[in-house]
Amino acid sequence: MPDNLKDFIKPGSEEELLVKQLDFSRLPRHVAVIMDGNGRWAKKRKLPRVAGHRAGTKSVREVVETCAHLGIEYLTLYAFSKENWKRPKKEVATLWRLLKEFLKREDKVLVKNKFRLKVIGQIEAIPAFARREVERVKELTKNNTRLTIVLALNYGGRDEIVDAVKNIVNDKDFDIDTLNEEKFSQYLYTNCVPDPDLLIRTSGELRVSNFLLWQIAYAEIWITQDFWPDFRKKHLFQALIDYQKRERRFGDIYPQGDQN
């Protein structure tokens, strides 16, 4: 186990047993998460839905911390989808307020740990008070390189593809004969972010819900029945153990890098 994990994992704990099964030379570079089940978590406890979102911010902190300790380079979190505007006004307002409070509270932690904040989605349409906070923390952390936290805000995968097409069409210098997958990727919101290797979804739904449609072409998918507010480091370790058991063939008959 790498030294920086030793203080983070309790000796003799379930987490320690899981971490010992990990091959640290084969961790994913990029983990993406669909944080689902906050509402059901709250309902089960006879609490308002927003209590589930508030509890979900604790899991956000935990998954960020755990990725950083493992040395994972990119973590993308689906925090607000284009479809989420359909929810009751009060719930939508609370989600943006929680985001603002989270960034206000955690900005020093992000700076101290050399985390970088990046945002994907139609950010111009989010409430100004949340946008200002996001822009402030993005600017504050823009030169950091340890862990990039990509927040998907007002994000839709189909929108992202349509926006990329619009940008290509509006780029007068673009020679359409040179268009290929790699070039197209540069026009997506995720330009400069490698594709996710592992996609995690909580609360048992078997859907991708318009999340990173282009980028998850070859991602391994891991689903837990547990709700997002119950997500802890052990879940991430379990996902990584499963990920390492899969053979990533990318359409080939051999796993990547193996020709025997």
Q: How large is the greatest C-alpha to C-alpha distance in the chain, in angstroms?
A: 61
Q: Contact with ligand FPP (CB under 6 A): which of 63, 70, 75, 77?
A: 77
- Read off the tokens for 252: 């080939």
Helix (H) or strand (E) holding 81: strand 74-81
The C-alpha atoms of residue 80 and residue 83 are separated, in whole angstroms, by 8
Distance CA 6, CA 1 (A): 7
Q: Shortest Cβ distance from residue 81 to ligand FPP (Å)?
A: 7
For ligand FPP, the nearest residue by Cβ is 39
What angle (nearest 5°) sits at the alpha carbon of residue 55, between those of residues 36 and 22?
65
* Binding residues for ligand FPP restricted to 108-137, rule: CB under 6 A: none
Per CB under 6 A, 37 contacts ligand FPP: yes
Residue placing its CB nearer to ligand FPP in the complex, 19 or 66: 66
Residue 102 found at the interface with ligand FPP (CB under 6 A): yes
Residues 222-241 that bind ligand FPP (CB under 6 A): 228
User: Shortest distance, CB of residue 162 to ligand FPP, whole angstroms?
Assistant: 22
**Catalytic option among 3, 4, 23, 84:** 84
* Site residues (CB under 6 A) for ligand FPP, limited to 43-72: 53, 56-57, 60
Position among 19, 50, 79, 150 found at the interface with ligand FPP (CB under 6 A): 79
**Residues 6 or more apart whose Cβ sits within 8 Å of residue 207:** 201
Whether 191 is a known active-site residue: answer no
Cα separation, 191 vs 150, whole angstroms: 12
CA distance 65 to 58: 11
Check if 210 is active-site: no
First to last CA, the chain: 30
Residue 196 DSSP label: P
Name the one range near ligand FPP by CB under 6 A: 35-43, 116-124, 127-135, 208-216: 35-43
Distance of closest approach, residue 29 Cβ to ligand FPP, in angstroms: 21
Distances (CA, A) of 11 to 2, 8, 64: 14, 9, 21
Using CB under 6 A, pick the residue from 67, 99, 134, 219 that binds ligand FPP: 99
**Residues engaged in binding ligand FPP (CB under 6 A):** 35-40, 53, 56-57, 60, 77, 79, 84, 95, 98-99, 102, 151, 228
Active-site positions? 36, 84
